């Protein structure tokens, strides 16, 4: 079943390392981690703390299940979700895999009102663990919106109307099986190339022509593709496409897919997930079981500056993240460890400076996979945790300082025997856009006049 019912792109000032750009008008959130794909929200005029009655809720709209975050561009909000077939339920044990009938949808909402302007739905039986819905955040650029579904359906749609411009089916086109936790690598746009994590022999990474969907190049082989989003950074004056799969950390020429260097890093259970982060000539990687690794990329042969000595989810030393992207600044790393410990480490050594559970768990007790997303705004962070709370806090080498907290929405999914929301919010137009498995909410974060 395919339905198309009724913009699109915008501001995307690239990092030094990027050659592609969007037309700049105002701050949108057109892709994973925002306009510069770095987890920084650069708008000003944002409130310093939440009002006593909570911030203004501009609108709430019912949606289906999913882990994918929203994208916001040119007065539109784009989101993917999952609709179960009538009479069908997800298994009580989210690890259980089977054939679960249903559809995936791409939704386009009016930013001012939340009204659904168009939707594109397609038949999509699920075979993955944790089958709530799609994982990857939409990417909006040049009048098009690109979406990747949990079972490997890649679409390029007209951002204004929802009309399909082109599509690819990873399982059919590349003969790959659905990864245990679905296709999850957030696509990356670079010039005319849409770079995706696919999988298969020689096609772990594939670059598609953004306008036609034709393959430009394919690269890498691994038993599993993992779930880590591709990133482009500049090292030694050279743009390098960083692809971390469960067997190694790799740098490719983004124009050709040619290997520049590869560093072995075998991680358990295929859990290459958190976004790699750059700091000067350093590249930071963190994994749930295997912990962290810091590479110095100052030549064609990167060297390990330091790495975790413990490959454990409980007995941890540096940072053992399951999902959230860490944040690096001013010589320190801030990130959430395996059981919810928000930690500060020294970049040069990995030495732990402090940790706290205040931002992640309501009772101050460790919880497996406890999660929070860190978004920098000015001199503070907005911390969106798995309980549906949004926290304003300062993260500094001398500790965690919580300034204000509000509850955005209810955790409606289940993980580790508790209710959670595991979707990265978007920040644009002085608002936050957050979703669970039942609704998406737009809340004003504008400072009062």
* C-beta separation of 74 from 28 below 8 A: yes
pLDDT digits (tens, 9 = 90+) for 192-250: 999 999 999 999 999 999 999 999 999 999 999 999 999 999 999 999 999 999 999 99
pLDDT digits (tens, 9 = 90+) for 317-348: 999 999 999 999 999 999 999 999 999 999 99
What pLDDT, on the 0 to 100 scale, is given for residue 448?
86
pLDDT digits (tens, 9 = 90+) for 382-414: 999 999 999 999 999 999 999 999 999 999 999
pLDDT digits (tens, 9 = 90+) for 133-172: 999 999 999 999 999 999 999 999 999 999 999 999 999 9
* C-beta separation of 83 from 123 below 8 A: no
What pLDDT, on the 0 to 100 scale, is given for residue 449?
59
Q: Is the pLDDT of residue 265 over 50?
A: yes
Q: Is the pLDDT of residue 9 over 80?
A: no
User: 22 or 57: which carries more pLDDT confidence?
Assistant: 57
What are the domain boundaries of the chain?
2-444
What pLDDT, on the 0 to 100 scale, is given for residue 20?
37
Long-range contacts, 276-281 (Cβ 8 Å, 24+) = 276/228, 276/231, 276/242, 276/244, 276/249, 277/325, 277/326, 277/327, 277/328, 278/231, 278/233, 278/235, 278/328, 279/328, 279/329, 279/347, 281/235, 281/236
pLDDT digits (tens, 9 = 90+) for 93-108: 889 899 999 999 999 9
pLDDT digits (tens, 9 = 90+) for 164-206: 999 999 999 999 999 999 999 999 999 999 999 999 999 999 9
Q: Is the pLDDT of residue 1 over 80?
A: no
Across the range 352-371, mean pLDDT stands at 95
Across the range 17-34, mean pLDDT stands at 65
pLDDT tier at 369, thresholds 50, 70, 90: very high
Superfamily of domain 2-444: YVTN repeat-like/Quinoprotein amine dehydrogenase (2.130.10.10)
Q: Is the pLDDT of residue 2 over 50?
A: no
Helices and strands: H and E segment counts in the chain:
1, 35
Q: Work out the mean pLDDT of the chain and round it to a whole number.
A: 93
Percent of the chain scoring above 70 in pLDDT: 94
């Amino acid at each position: 079943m395919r339905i198309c019912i009724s913009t699109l792109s915008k501001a995307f000032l690239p990092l030094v390392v990027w050659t592609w750009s969007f037309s700049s008008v105002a701050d949108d959130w057109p892709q994973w981690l925002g306009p510069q794909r770095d987890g920084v929200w650069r708008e000003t005029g944002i409130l310093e703390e939440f009002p006593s009655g909570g911030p203004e809720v501009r609108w709430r709209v019912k949606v289906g299940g999913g882990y994918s975050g929203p994208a916001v561009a040119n007065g539109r909000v784009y989101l993917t979700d999952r609709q179960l077939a009538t009479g069908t339920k997800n298994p009580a044990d989210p690890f259980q895999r089977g054939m679960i009938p249903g559809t995936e949808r791409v939704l386009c909402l009016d930013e001012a009102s939340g009204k659904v302007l168009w939707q594109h739905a397609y038949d999509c039986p699920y075979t993955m663990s944790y089958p709530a819905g799609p994982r990857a955040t939409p990417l909006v650029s040049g009048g098009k919106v690109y979406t990747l579904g949990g079972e490997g359906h890649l679409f390029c749609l007209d951002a204004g109307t929802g009309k399909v411009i082109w599509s690819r089916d990873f399982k059919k086109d590349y003969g790959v099986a659905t990864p245990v936790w679905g296709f999850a690598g957030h696509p990356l746009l670079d010039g005319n190339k849409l770079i995706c994590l696919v999988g298969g022999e020689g096609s772990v990474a594939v670059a598609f022509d953004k306008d036609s969907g034709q393959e430009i190049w394919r690269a890498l082989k691994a038993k599993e593709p993992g779930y880590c989003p591709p990133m482009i950074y500049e090292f030694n004056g050279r743009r390098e496409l960083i692809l971390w799969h469960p067997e190694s950390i790799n740098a490719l020429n983004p124009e050709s897919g040619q290997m520049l260097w590869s560093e072995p890093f075998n991680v358990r259970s295929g859990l290459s997930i958190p976004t790699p982060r750059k700091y000067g000539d350093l590249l930071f990687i963190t994994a749930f079981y295997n912990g962290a690794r810091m590479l110095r990329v100052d030549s064609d042969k990167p060297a390990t500056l330091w790495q975790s000595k413990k490959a454990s989810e409980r007995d941890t030393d540096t940072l053992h993240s399951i999902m959230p992207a860490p944040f690096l600044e001013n010589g320190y790393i801030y990130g959430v460890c395996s059981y919810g410990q928000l930690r500060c480490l020294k970049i040069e050594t990995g030495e732990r400076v402090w940790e706290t559970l205040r931002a992640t768990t309501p009772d101050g007790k460790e919880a497996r996979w406890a999660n929070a997303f860190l978004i920098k705004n000015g001199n503070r962070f907005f911390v969106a945790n798995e309980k549906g709370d949004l926290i304003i806090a300062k993260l500094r080498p001398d500790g965690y300082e919580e300034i204000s907290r509000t509850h955005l929405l209810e955790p409606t999914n289940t993980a580790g025997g508790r209710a959670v929301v595991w979707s990265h919010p978007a920040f644009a137009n002085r608002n936050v856009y957050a979703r669970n498995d039942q609704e998406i909410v737009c809340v004003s974060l504008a400072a009062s006049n």
